[in-house]
Amino acid sequence: MEDLTLLTIDRLNVWYSPGKNVLDNFSLELGDHEIVGLIGLNGAGKTTFIKTLSGLISSFLLCLAYHYLTGKKDTP
């Protein structure tokens, strides 16, 4: 049986104000039956990543919509 890729994030950029990226070119691929831990120093972007992934920060959703509608991998 072939393993499935459940989530692919490629070069995610998240910011709260222009020029101050919290996540810069963040990439992640999560496969079927994988367990992942998210660790890092204070201010590393752990909470921002979870908020972005859950839709509380809109930049990720805009990127997802762009990729889905256009089929392109680059950001607009």
Query: Which pLDDT score, from 0 to 100, does residue 68 have?
Result: 55
- Residue 61 in any domain: the answer is yes
> Sign of the C-alpha dihedral, residues 64, 43, 21, 58?
positive
DSSP H helices in 20-76? 46-54, 58-70
Q: What is the pLDDT of residues 31-68, one digit of tens each?
A: 888 888 999 999 888 998 888 887 777 665 555 555 55
Tell me what the pLDDT averaged over the chain comes to: 76
Query: Which pLDDT score, from 0 to 100, does residue 60 have?
Result: 56
- Rounded distance between C-alpha atoms, residue 55 and residue 49, angstroms: 10
Range of the domain at 31: 5-70
Query: Which pLDDT score, from 0 to 100, does residue 2 have?
Result: 66
- Residue 75 in any domain: the answer is no
Per the structure, how many domains does the chain have? 1
